[in-house]
Structure 1
């Protein structure tokens, strides 16, 4: 992609936007970053960073609407919705609007493996990344997982591999994005506050398939509700995975073993009890990773070795510490109902009463499939955030009344610890986005760990 001499407007002064701005500047473009947050409202550290970028030649428009005269391209950060006024105006004027993922991909010379889905993306992407690195050390893990594609794309060699976690937010602005192996792990209701309907949300997920051809591969979950619909839209060769028997999938669970049969010959990868990651959802993530890597041509020996060494992902049912016989787990990555269900059920196998810290930003989804699982598993729910009233109401609708609302995160944690007994566990698994109280689910999880580690033991 040639952007030399072009005028580019980046929307969003966060990691993705900054990475895209630096990439565009490196390629000879004139670059401005727009953010609706005024300069004086940024903290001192970010203000200093803004001044440094200005010295590099990046312009800033903060707190006021940007003029679009002479703008050739608009690049969106994934967290910014497409219905803001300046984006609508840009589209009206015929200016191309793409996302940071799309922008970076236009400079990429290496094959891309892309993974999306409502739940399990981060664990599966991390696991695929570890397997691919054992196969090819020139593997770069990027995208929604925390490292912007634009940060690495110019250093990725032609014989390297890109493993990208991609969200619906990124895919809705990725018109030419082309992975050689794509994967849709699952689709359940999420982000309806942004996408408004399941039809829109699914359409964003299916964009991962749009530019593939018959020489590419598409990995799908044969047990997922939207499997048939996704399969119909797939242009690449479809490889399936599930925890059912082999007649349904190319990678499957049989007699406690993960088996792959992609090339028509059964190969046992490992026994489930050999895995360090526990829970049904993690076995499914492992099956998906096997399917993705085998589709790419990775030898079974590399897959098995990396799979057995994998210890899991930070903020996803992550063990923190034990105090006075009480175990603490950080599942801050559970930002929707299905992810929280996976965390709850995965931890329930320990047989310990769970004290659950839940709640956060309203994503306009129901908690009922989750709250109906509380009886017999959850000793008490400690509720925070803007979904507090909804969560209380849906607990009661399921006949569960052992809950309490809290104003602050810290109060909820201290109360859970104070009321816990030895042999119980405290689980942070919000089922909500973090943005009503935190900058990210990572910040929420880090604060949880910090508070927990400072509790008197």
Structure 2
């Protein structure tokens, strides 16, 4: 879609909205930034730009006359797609894009796109490292830190862009067409946004919507929903599994990751050669290997890169050992399934720090995963009472309630024995107490350092 001299409404004045505005101005569009918060001022938005950019603003209510003037609406990921004013744009037949669709409209080269409830950031970073080691021009974008819209105009015909994509971003794709896609897993998350599990599953699978049989989709064989969906995916499906030996695909056999295609097996690596902790990371590695193979990256480059790759910040990140107690930062564990994987990755008695913003999750399976490994659960945030009630109902009563993360670190340290691990893995979002999971993880690391 040609956007020169078009009127575009960018909804949201955060990082995504700012990046979208910069791209739109570079391609000659007239931009109006809209925020439903009437208390926002234009100067507040201008401060977020690192360059001079001209745009109009609407704060608070938006009129039908203002809406009728727009040729395109670009929604930030945090804006629900079922809001009344968004539905009004639909009745006007105004195109509604998200940042992924906007960036894709101007990007060149091939796209490798990764989604899933958990593991996206690690898999994206690893896949990006593999692509960078082989291709002359590669980019890593999305939730991992750099908006796709920031990089779109830098891409070339021979570029490979590795994109981490959330369910929120997938709600607003139309023509987006990855050469290779991956859906790592689907477990309940963001149901306050998607309303039903069926909606959430369909949104995740929509990453394959525009793929063809010449493209590839990497799926987790152990995820029943993905196995069921595979027959309706238009791309060539490649499975990976950490529990089953597959006739074709990538799988774990004892301590080795195996690739089996056309009846031939190849050992990718021994898990003891890896720097990543936990069975879930073996799945992330298999997904990355599958994507790299479908992008024709030589196997020696794939093997070398996965063996050298270290954990992503805030995902079961080792922080320090103080008085023979290890501290791990898993602030990216923003839902129960991610938090379960973090507990499973621990190899010593563990004190878990959990709780945060309520995304209407269920915590039974998380508590059940504690077994004999988790000695205490230290809780804070909006969900602490809900989680405590669930834990006690399930027979886990070693619970300490606190008000702040600093207090949680201090209380956990008092409870720890030599040889224990203290794991921040909240099973909840950070909103309400922190800007994002990164800030929560950074504060945790700061409080740990203050113990010295």
Separation of aligned partners in 2, 1:313 and 1:273: 18
8 Å Cα contact 2:248/2:263 also seen in 1:
no
Secondary structure, aligned partner of 2:47 = helix
- The answer as to whether partners of 1:34 and 1:62 remain within 8 angstroms in 2 is yes
Structure 1: runs of 5+ lacking an equivalent = none
- Does residue 422 (structure 1) correspond to residue 418 (structure 2)? The answer is yes
CA displacement, residues 81-104 of structure 1 (integer Å, 9 cap, x when unaligned): 112232122122221111101110
- Tell me, in whole angstroms, the C-alpha distance in 2 between the residues paired with 1:65 and 1:102: 24
Residue 454 in structure 1 maps to residue 444 in structure 2: no
- C-alpha displacement of 1:52: 7.1
Which residue pairs with 1:358 in the alignment? 354
Q: Distance in 2 between matches of 1:190 and 1:289?
A: 23
For 1:327, the equivalent position in structure 2 comes to 326
Change (3 A) 1:410 1:65: farther
User: 1:249 Cα shift?
Assistant: 4.0
Distance 2:102 2:76 in 1: 11
State the alpha-carbon separation in 1 of the partners of residues 358 and 150 from structure 2: 31
Secondary structure of residue in 2 paired with 1:106: helix
Partner of 1:346: 345
Q: In 2 relative to 1, CA 407–41 (structure 1 residues): closer, same or farther, beyond 3 Å?
A: farther
Conserved? CA contact 2:39–2:59, under 8 Å: yes
1:165-190 deviation per Cα after TM superposition (whole angstroms, max 9, x unaligned): 11110001112110010111111111
Query: Hey, what does 1:228 align to over in structure 2?
Result: 227
Q: What do the CA deviations read for 1:325-383 (whole angstroms, capped 9, x no partner)?
A: 21110000011111000000001xx2x22111101111111010011122411111111
Offset from partner CA, 1:405-433 (integer Å, 9 cap, x none): 22222221221122223221211000011
Q: Secondary structure at the match of 1:56?
A: coil
1:409 and 2:408 correspond: no
2:55 to 39, 54, 58: 58
1:126-137 alignment runs, 5 A limit: 126-137=125-136
Give secondary structure in 2 for the equivalent of 1:312. Answer: coil
**Structure 1 residue 228, shift from structure 2 partner:** 2.6
Q: Does 1:49 align with 2:47?
A: yes
Q: CA deviation at 1:307?
A: 0.4
**Local SS of the residue matching 1:183:** strand
Displacement, 1:39? 4.9
Is 1:120–1:185's contact at 8 Å kept on the other side of the alignment? Answer: yes
**2:123 and 2:284 in contact (8 A); partners too:** yes
Distance 1:271 1:413, change over 3 A: same
**How many angstroms apart in 1 are the aligned matches of 2:35 and 2:247?**
48
Q: CA deviation at 1:47?
A: 5.2
Counterparts of 2:41 and 2:406, CA distance in 1: 25
Aligned-partner Cα distance in 2 for 1:218–1:48: 40
Structure-1 residue corresponding to 2:36: 36
TM-score if structure 1 supplies the norm length? Answer: 0.95
**SS where residue 261 of structure 1 aligns?**
strand
Determine if contact 2:81/2:171 at 8 Å carries over to the other structure: no
Q: What does residue 372 of structure 2 align with?
A: 376
Residue 288 (structure 1) aligned with residue 314 (structure 2): no
* Stretch of structure 1 that moved more, 77-86 or 303-312: 77-86
1:49-448 equivalences in 2 (<5 Å): 49=47, 55-65=52-62, 67-347=66-346, 350=347, 352-448=348-444
8 A contact 1:13–1:35 mirrored in 2: yes
**Does the 8 A contact of 1:384 with 1:409 survive in 2?**
yes
Distance 1:380 1:249 in 2: 42
Q: d(CA) in 1 for partners of 2:354 and 2:391? A: 12
The two structures have a TM-score, normalised by structure 2, of 0.96
RMSD over aligned Cα, in angstroms? 1.8
**1:50 Cα offset (Å):** 5.2
Give the SS at the match of 2:426. coil
Change in 2 beyond 3 A, CA 1:19/1:367: same
Unaligned 5+ runs, structure 2: none
Q: Which moved more, 1:440-449 or 1:56-65?
A: 56-65
Q: Kindly state the Cα deviation for residue 229 of structure 1 after the two structures are TM-superposed.
A: 2.5
Displacement, 1:48?
Answer: 5.4
CA–CA separation in structure 2 for the residues paired with 1:9 and 1:259: 49
Change (3 A) 1:126 1:253: same
Is this contact kept in 2: 1:102–1:175, CA < 8 A? yes
Contact 2:18-2:49 within 8 A present in 1 as well: no
Q: Report how far residue 41 of structure 1 moved.
A: 8.0
- When the two structures are aligned, how many residues end up with a matched partner? 450
